[in-house]
Structures are given as C-alpha cells and as structure tokens.
C-alpha cells in the first residue's frame, strides 16, 4: 500500500500528499505560497501574506470559546532538496514520490519533505476541521527556513496576535523542546590561477560516497563521516606523496547538512596509476574500519577520466588542502549543565569549484553566543592563513528555555492524559525559528514538538507513520485543555 491518503488521521495525510505534489525548494516557494493562500481563502478564513512570502491564516474561535487563549501553530513551507546522485529528479518541477515501507513513510531516492511538510499538513487540517472546539487560532507558514531562516527574520513585529506558539518542526514524538542553539554561517572564497596539465599524465576521479549525512544540528554528535573531510585526507596524500595536481573538487550541498558525497579530479604521472589505485583501495578499507559502528556504508572509489584542460595552480592547491585539513568539523564542546547535550559545533558543509574560484560553506552552532562566534573565528583562521576571503553570515539567536512556561505545563498534562507517562523536556542543538520569533515577540510562550523523523536533510529521510496520529491526538488534547 502506497496511498498515504488512506492513513489516519485522514485530513493530515490528505494535506501532506497534496503538499508533496508542489515543488518547494528554499527561496523558490512561490507555488507553495499560492497553494496556502488559495487553501486559506477556500476555507473562508482571513489569509494574509507579508513581503517575505510568509503566509498567516486566522481561524476565529468556535461559539463559546472566544475568551480562550489565542494560539499560533507555526511550520515552515520549504524543504531541503537532497537526492542520491543516481536519481533523476528535479526539485523545481517534480512531485515527491512517497512509499510506505513497513511502519515508515519514505521517498524514492530523495528527501521526503516531512521536514516540515508534515507540520504544515497538521496546521492545515486544524484550519479545515469542523468538529474541534477551540479559541482563536493563527497558523503561520514561513519561507526559507532551511537556508537561513529568512522568513522568520523578516517577520513583522505586529503580524501575529497570539501570545502562545506551537512550533511543529521537531523530530521525536514524546519530546518537547523549549530552547535551541543559535547559529551562523562562515563562507570562504579562494581565487586560483590555472596551469597547464603536466605531460605524460593521467586523470582520475576520486569519490567518497555512501555516507548517511544528516542534519548538522541533530546528527552532529553521532560520529558520522563527513565526505569532504575524508576526501581531504586523500588529497593530502595525493598532493604530498604522489605530486598530484587538483583540477576540480566538489562536495556537500547545504549548510545545514553533513556532507554525504564528495569528489575530486586529480592529474598525476601515468606510471603512478597502479600505486595510487592500491592506496585508494587500502584507504577505503581504513575508513570503513574507522566508521564501522557509525557510518558503515562509506565507499571510496577511483575511476579514470579524460584529462582536463587545466589544473589549479600548485600554490593554491597546497594551501587549500592544508586549510581543509585544519578546518574543524563536528562537536567542539558539550554542555556543562545538561548531560549529553551538544553546546557548540561546526559543520564543514560544502566545497565547490566555480569558475576560477573555490567556494566553501561552513556552519557553526552554539547555545552560548560567544562560543558560536569563537567557533566561526576558528574556522575563519584556517583559511585566512592562506589569504582567502572570509565572510560571516548574520546568524540567528538561540532560544532560552522557560521552565515556568504555561504552554509547557499544558502540553505535559495533555501528554500524561493520553499516554500515561511523562514526555521528555529538552533543548535542541539545531536552530529553530522560535529563536527569531522570540526576539521579535519577547512575551511569546513557545514549545516545539512533532512526529518522529529520521535521516532528515538526506535521501534517507523517513517518517514514523503511527506518530502522526499520536501527535495529532496530543494537539487536540492540548486545545481541549486551553482556557
């Protein structure tokens, strides 16, 4: 069975199916904006759009509930667009192809879009419902969360009326988040000159693939491999032991995803082919052993390719390889107060050859603002030593937890009523729009929750089907408890 519209709760899955027919890459959400605007108006509800493209739909209270605390449901409409290299798919035109695999919902070789399409679907189902008694409701759908939180950045300070916000963008049923890390990007540009290909040379493409990747916040502490860092070890050996010349490098894609794949085109003397091929084979075995418990699918491959027209100048190549090797990646510090919680991390997200430049994107996160800046400076220093141009993004604030939150108390009560156990109350190392919303609306009482997702920001993304019903029931119980 692959017809998700037959799943329960039917209204939620109906909307999720409809959403996955609509292309919605970050910064290209025009069709999704139009769909949300049309849906809100077709339901006869007040439907607004701000200059950034954020959509707000208001549903008045049901009779007798006008004095109940107004609440806001919030989800982002864009999705991470990642696919396996052998999959023919265009995220700007094609519908996501879903399939049911046992208790999970997956996509065919691409990200599923449940982050945060399932949150959008739940909010729309609430707006459509005719049998839920409730106070005033607002549903806020933000743009471009995945590549910079720009929708939340642009949110006006008078756009929202409610004072209690439920963010539907978390990934573990039974976990409530009441705080998150702040983050910023550090981007590097390296200019290079081109040199002629040495005589008597052969060219090879070296590839690192098969890694899990994942969310650079949620998964950064899971000891998964970073394809760029693994490839850099190969480049270091190729440069300094085999006098290889680098012609092209490409790895990773998104600032908030751990790099799953990376490749480089190398040129070296023909007589070194067999020795270098043996090195690659041995190195592949080494990496598989290193990652046997955390990323066992890693593959390191080599194949001959046509000689490129030019290679990167030797001076830049040596500096680039050294800087990539020195660039930190992963957990930098654990929280001193919360057991098992990542305080500060950095992600070497992507490296691309663009014309006669190398473009590198990294992302830093921390629940301590000064440590976030320290991590960014650490990354910048590795590249400034070679004279690279470094640019820092504006970043986004963290969200400080409030243990006395009313929304938290009601959600805990709702969870206990339904499941006869206590939920986990946590802070998250990933960034959430709650940080920016809280900055603009300091009195906003917020919580983040959602159904169980795994493999987000990668083609392995999957949604645990039964948890959608559980989160839906929890939401209805919360609404019932509001006064």
Which sequence positions are flagged as catalytic? 78, 145
Cα dihedral across residues 139, 141, 146, 152: positive or negative = negative
CA separation for the pair 142, 241 (Å, rounded): 50
Check whether the bond before 116 is cis (ω within 30° of 0). Answer: yes
177 with 432: CB under 8 angstroms? yes
Closest to 243 measured CA to CA, from 280, 276, 217? 276
CA distances from 209 to 38, 82, 223, 259, 452 (A): 42, 14, 16, 9, 26
358, HSE (Cβ side, Cα atoms, 13 Å): 28
Strand 330-334 vs strand 342-354: parallel, antiparallel, or unpaired?
A: antiparallel
Three-class HEC string of the chain: CCCHHHCCCHHHHHHHHHHCCCCCECCCCHHHHHHHHHHHHHCCCEEEECCCCCEEEEECCCCCCCCCCCEEEEEECCECCCECCCCCCCCCCCCCCEEEECCEEEECCECCCHHHHHHHHHHHHHHHCCCCCCCCEEEEEECCCCCCCHHHHHCCCCCCCCCEEEECCCCCCCEEEEEECEEEEEEEEEECCEEECCCCEEEEEEEEECCCCCECCCCCCCCCCCHHHHHHHHHHHHHHHCCCEEEEEEECCCCCECCCCEEEEEEEEHHHHHHHHHHHHHHHHHHHHHCCCCCCCCEEEEEEECCCCEEECHHHHHHHHHHHHHCCCEEEEECCCCCCCEEEEEEEEEEEEECCEEEEEEEEEECCHHHHHHHHHHHHHHHHCCCCEEEECCCECCECCCCCCHHHHHHHHHHHHHHCCCCEEEEECCCCCHHHHHHHCCCCEEEECCCCEECCCCCCCEEEHHHHHHHHHHHHHHHHHCC
CB atoms within 10 A of CB 199: 7
CA separation for the pair 221, 142 (Å, rounded): 28
């Amino acid at each position: 069975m692959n017809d998700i519209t037959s799943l329960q709760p039917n209204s939620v899955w109906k909307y999720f199916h409809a959403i996955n027919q609509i292309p919605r890459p970050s910064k290209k959400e025009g069709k999704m904006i139009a769909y949300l605007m049309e849906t809100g108006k077709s339901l006869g509800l007040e439907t607004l759009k701000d200059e950034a493209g954020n959509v707000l739909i208001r549903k008045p209270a049901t009779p007798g509930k006008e004095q109940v605390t107004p609440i806001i449901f919030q989800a982002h409409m864009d999705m991470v667009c990642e696919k396996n290299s052998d999959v023919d798919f265009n995220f700007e035109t094609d519908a996501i192809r879903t399939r049911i695999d046992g208790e999970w919902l997956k996509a065919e070789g691409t990200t599923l879009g449940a982050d945060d399409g399932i949150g959008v679907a739940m909010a729309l189902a609430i707006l459509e419902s005719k049998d839920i008694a409730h106070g005033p409701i607002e549903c806020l759908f933000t743009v471009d969360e995945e590549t910079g939180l720009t929708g939340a950045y642009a949110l006006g300070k008078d756009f929202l009326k409610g004072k209690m916000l439920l963010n539907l963008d978390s990934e573990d049923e039974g976990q409530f988040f009441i705080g998150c890390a702040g983050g910023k990007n550090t981007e590097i540009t390296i200019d290079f000159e081109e040199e002629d290909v040495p005589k008597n040379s052969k060219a090879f493409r070296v590839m690192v693939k098969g890694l899990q990747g994942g969310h650079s916040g949620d998964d950064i502490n899971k000891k998964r491999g970073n394809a760029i860092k693994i490839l850099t070890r190969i480049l270091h050996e190729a440069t300094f032991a085999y006098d290889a010349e680098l012609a092209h490098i490409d790895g990773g894609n998104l600032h908030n995803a751990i790099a799953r794949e990376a490749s480089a085109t190398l040129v070296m003397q023909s007589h070194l082919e067999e020795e270098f091929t043996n090195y690659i084979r041995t190195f592949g075995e080494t990496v598989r052993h290193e990652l046997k418990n955390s990323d066992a699918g890693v593959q390191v491959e080599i194949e001959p390719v046509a000689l490129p027209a030019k290679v990167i100048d030797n001076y830049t190549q040596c500096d680039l390889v050294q800087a990539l090797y020195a660039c930190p990646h992963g957990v930098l510090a654990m929280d001193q107060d919360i057991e098992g919680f990542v305080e500060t991390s950095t992600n070497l997200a992507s490296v691309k050859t663009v014309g006669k430049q190398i473009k590198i994107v990294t992302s830093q996160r921390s629940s301590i603002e000064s440590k976030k800046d320290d991590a960014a400076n650490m990354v910048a220093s590795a590249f400034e030593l070679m004279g690279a141009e470094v640019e820092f993004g504006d970043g986004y604030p963290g969200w400080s937890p409030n243990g006395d939150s009313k929304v938290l108390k009601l959600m805990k009560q709702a969870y206990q009523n339904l499941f006869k156990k206590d939920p986990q109350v946590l802070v998250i190392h990933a960034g959430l729009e709650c940080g920016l919303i809280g900055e603009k609306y300091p009195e906003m009482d917020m919580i983040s929750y959602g159904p169980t997702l795994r493999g987000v920001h990668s083609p392995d993304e999957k949604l645990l089907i039964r948890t959608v019903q559980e989160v839906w029931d929890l939401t209805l119980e919360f609404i019932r408890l509001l006064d």
